Structure 1
Amino acid sequence: MGLALVSALECAAEGVPFARDAGIPVSAGIVFGLLAGSVLVLRRKWPIAVVLVAIAITPAQMGFLMGIVGLYTLAAAELPRRIIVALAGMSLLGTMIVTFVRVKQDMARGDLTLGDWFVPFAAVTTSLGLTAPPVLLGLYVGARRRLMESLRERADSLERELQLLAERAEERAEWARGEERTRIAREMHDVVAHRVSLMVVHAAALQAVARKDPEKAVKNAALVGDMGRQALTELREMLGVLRSGEAAQRRTAPASASVPAQVRAAVPASASASVPLAAVGVAAAAAASRAAEEEGPWLSELEVLIGQSAAAGMVVDLSVEGAVRSYAAAIEQTAFRVVQEALTNVHKHAAGAKTHVRLAHRMAEIAMQVENEPPPEPASAASAGLPSGGNGLVGMRERVLGLGGVFVSGPTDAGGFRVSAVIPSA
Structure 2
Amino acid sequence: MEDRAVDYLRRVNNWVRRFAAAHPTAVRVAGAATLFLGALLIAAIQARPTHTPAVFAVAVLVSASFVVIPAMSWPSWLSLAVATAGAIVMMPAGAPEAARPALFFAMLLFSLRSEKTAVVTATAAMTATVVLSGAVLSGLGGVAELSSIEALSLVLAAAAVGQAVRARRAQQAMLVERATRAEQGREEEARRRVQAERLRIARELHDAVGHHVALISVQAGAMTYLLDKDSTEARQSLAHIQNASGAALEELRLTVGLLRQLDDHEPVEPAGRLDRLDELIASFVASGLRVTCDVSGPARSLPEAVDLTAFRLIQESLTNTAKHASGAAASVRLAFRPDVLALVVEDDGPPAGGSHSRSEVGQSGHGIIGMHERAAALGGWLSAGPRGEGGFRVVAELPAPVGAAL
TM-score, normalising length from structure 2? 0.65
Report if the CA contact (8 A) 2:330-2:348 is conserved. Answer: yes
Aligned-partner residue type, residue 183 of structure 1: R
Report if the CA contact (8 A) 1:319-1:358 is conserved. Answer: yes
Secondary structure (helix, strand or coil) at the match of 2:228 reads: coil
Equivalent residue for 2:284, pick from 290, 298, 309: 309
**1:208 matched residue in structure 2:** 225
- CA deviation profile, 1:307-364 (whole Å, cap 9, x unmatched): 1101111110100011111212211111111100100110111111111110111110
- CA deviation profile, 1:269-311 (whole Å, cap 9, x unmatched): xxxxxxxxxxxxxxxxxx99xx644x44111111110011011
CA distance in 1, matches of 2:216, 2:356: 14
**1:297 matched residue in structure 2:** 272
1:155 aligns with 2:172: yes
Aligned-partner residue type, residue 301 of structure 1: R
Report if the CA contact (8 A) 2:91-2:134 is conserved. Answer: no
**2:395 matched residue in structure 1:** 420
Structure 1's unaligned 5+ residue stretches are 15-29, 79-141, 249-286
1:75 aligns with 2:156: yes
Larger fraction in helix: 1
**1:373 matched residue in structure 2:** 348
Report if the CA contact (8 A) 1:198-1:312 is conserved. Answer: yes
Return the offset for 1:205.
2.2
Change over 3 Å in CA distance of 1:362–1:6 after alignment to 2: same
Superposed counterparts of 1:188-199, under 5 Å: 188-199=205-216
Structure 2's unaligned 5+ residue stretches are 1-35, 51-89, 108-125, 402-406
Change over 3 Å in CA distance of 1:2–1:50 after alignment to 2: farther
Return the offset for 1:60.
5.3
TM-score, normalising length from structure 1? 0.62
Change over 3 Å in CA distance of 1:418–1:12 after alignment to 2: same
CA distance in 1, matches of 2:184, 2:303: 33
Superposed counterparts of 1:1-400, under 5 Å: 1-2=36-37, 4-5=39-40, 10=46, 32-34=92-94, 44=106, 46-54=126-134, 57=138, 65-68=147-150, 70-76=151-157, 78=159, 142=160, 145-244=162-261, 292-293=268-269, 295-375=270-350, 390-400=365-375
Change over 3 Å in CA distance of 1:418–1:48 after alignment to 2: same
CA distance in 1, matches of 2:204, 2:274: 16
CA distance in 2, matches of 1:32, 1:175: 73
CA distance in 2, matches of 1:5, 1:380: 102
Change over 3 Å in CA distance of 1:31–1:185 after alignment to 2: closer
CA distance in 1, matches of 2:384, 2:319: 14
Return the offset for 1:409.
0.9
CA distance in 1, matches of 2:155, 2:96: 18
Aligned-partner residue type, residue 157 of structure 2: A
Report if the CA contact (8 A) 1:357-1:369 is conserved. Answer: yes
Count of equivalent residues = 299
CA distance in 2, matches of 1:242, 1:420: 32
Q: Percent identity?
A: 33
Return the offset for 1:374.
2.8
Return the offset for 1:66.
4.2
CA distance in 2, matches of 1:235, 1:419: 26
Question: Which is bigger in relative contact order (C-alpha 8 A, separation at least 6)?
Answer: 1
